[in-house]
Amino acid sequence: MTTTIAGYDTVAVFVGLDVGKSEHHAVALDRAGKKLYDKTLPQDEARLRQIIADLSIHGPVLVVVDQPATIGALPVAVARAAGAIVGYLPGLSMRRIADLHPGEAKTDARDAAIIAETARTMPHTLRSIQVDDEQVAELTMLCGFDDDLAAQITQVSNRIRGLLTQIHPALERVIGAHLDHPAMLTLLRKHPSPEAMRTAGTKRLGNLLLKHAPRKGRVWAEEITAALGQQTVTVTGTNAAALVLPRLAAQLQTLQTQRDDVAAEVETLVEAHPLHPVLTSMPGVGVRTAARLLTEVAGKAFPTAGHLAAYAGLAPVTRRSGTSIRGEHPSRRGNKTLKRALFLSAFAALRDPESRAYYNRKIAQGKRHNQALIALARRRSDVLYAMLRDGTLYQPRLPITA
């Protein structure tokens, strides 16, 4: 049985660590399966170092965790700094192996013992934690924060549009369509009510918008003035909205700035990753999509392209039962984050002639827009699998000539 853990043949002590938020449980076995340690450890660097040092008396130590990120990040870092070999047992493998052991109890001590025994007897189930995994862990954290910022931006934007719709629907139709532009947010901060905008006039509004939108400033100012003329009554709650809108606009600007900063950090990490030129060579794959592919695909082993498609939820599910139920249906399972990234990437790739031609063929076959995009995403998933497997750049198919 082979393993990706370098130096596994020299290991004398196998430590299974079931990590927790405040404390871990460690079980250490020697080559013969004799238990050397079975206790609870605090989430503390000094204590972790001491245990690894004590076990190192018996020989090289292999520390295997069930979660290398978040709550397991400190034990991994301490073990590596203490000179121990570090490995990772995936959660799915852990659950399947646990079913083979007697008993139905779910305790930290049992899980740690199973991890240690698996590390000793089934090294092929382990994965090595490399430097790339650290980059992926950082990307995962930043992408998660980016998702939170995106959700907050959507929430605040909807709140602003809701207030504008309540007090002046015509004005919302103009401002709401460009709410992601700094010019509109600056306008709401300085002139947060319809009356304030009327008082400012078209010229002053245009001068204000021109500072952030040189091309469209004057046009938007005229559209805002025209919208203001479509309503003469003042709706109840307008004064309160004038107090809330500038604060919401300032909050939205801050969130957008933070997301831009996170995007810059993500771009730096993606460009430093070895797979960056491979991923970005595919049409429709930008920085954010490449980051998602790294966090959801890199480091995972897929035997075939079909396994990757099934993991992403892009492979159709066949349902058959006698003669009454027959056919294939879209999968509702899989990695939702990866599926969304591949779907949006396929949509962005419609500018590519080859992808557009494939999409048009699916439309001609009677598929709807989303169905054609899912089919394109499935096809691109197969290409992505080959690129990652061989480490090659994207190569479009050569046109067939007469």
Each residue of 201-251: pLDDT tens digit? 999 999 999 999 999 999 999 999 999 999 989 999 999 999 999 999 999
Q: How large is the C-alpha radius of gyration of the chain? A: 28
CATH of domain 139-268: 1.10.287
pLDDT given for residue 402 in this prediction:
40
- For 134-148, what is each residue's pLDDT tens digit? 677 788 889 989 999
Residue 384 scores a pLDDT above 80: yes
User: Which residues, 6 or more positions from 61, have their beta carbon under 8 angstroms from its beta carbon?
Assistant: 11, 12, 13, 15, 28, 52, 55, 79, 83, 84, 85
Q: What residue spans in the chain does CATH classification 3.30.420.10 cover?
A: 8-129
Residue 172 scores a pLDDT above 60: yes
Average pLDDT, the chain: 88
pLDDT given for residue 152 in this prediction:
96
- For 19-32, what is each residue's pLDDT tens digit? 888 889 999 999 99
pLDDT given for residue 67 in this prediction:
82
Q: What residue spans in the chain does CATH classification 1.10.287 cover?
A: 139-268
- For 298-315, what is each residue's pLDDT tens digit? 767 788 888 888 888 887
Q: What is the fold of 8-129?
A: Nucleotidyltransferase; domain 5 (3.30.420)
